[in-house]
Amino acid sequence: MGWAVKRASYRYAVAWVAENDSGGDHDALIPGEVQHLITAALVADLFDVPQEKVGVDIVRYRRKHGWKDKAS
């Protein structure tokens, strides 16, 4: 096999989850809820980072890229 595997970064993983998992949910911008996504748990395990941090980072990414609270 002639293909190479590129190791994903933590930042890329957070961005992927932010863009692709539960972004339309009413709690998509609540770190304490987002941290419980199975994909957030996977990122935490793969990169040995606390789930709480992953939740905060996903929400930070979403806010930085123009996501708005559903209540707004």
Residue 28 forms part of a structural domain: yes
Of the candidates 42, 15, 16, 18, which has an alpha carbon nearest to the alpha carbon of residue 31?
18
Question: Residues 67, 23: contact at Cβ < 8 Å?
Answer: yes
Mapping DSSP to helix (H, G, I), strand (E, B) and coil, where does residue 10 land? helix
Examine the pLDDT at 5 and tell me if it is beyond 80: no
In a domain, 33, yes or no: yes
Residue 45 resides in a domain: yes
Predicted TM-score of the model (pTM) = 0.85
Can you give the pLDDT at residue 33? 94
Q: Is 11 within a domain?
A: no
Q: What does pLDDT average to over the chain?
A: 89
Residues 20 and 37: beta-carbon distance below 8 Å? no
Total structural domains in the chain? 1
Residue written as tokens 């941290």? 35
3 pLDDT higher than 80 = no
User: Residue 14 contacts by C-beta under 8 Å, 6 or more apart in sequence?
Assistant: 43, 54, 57, 58, 61
> Would 68 be classed as within a structural domain?
yes
Q: Is residue 71 part of a domain?
A: yes
Residue 39 lies in a domain: yes
- Host domain of residue 41: 21-72
- Whether 67 maps to a domain, the answer reads yes
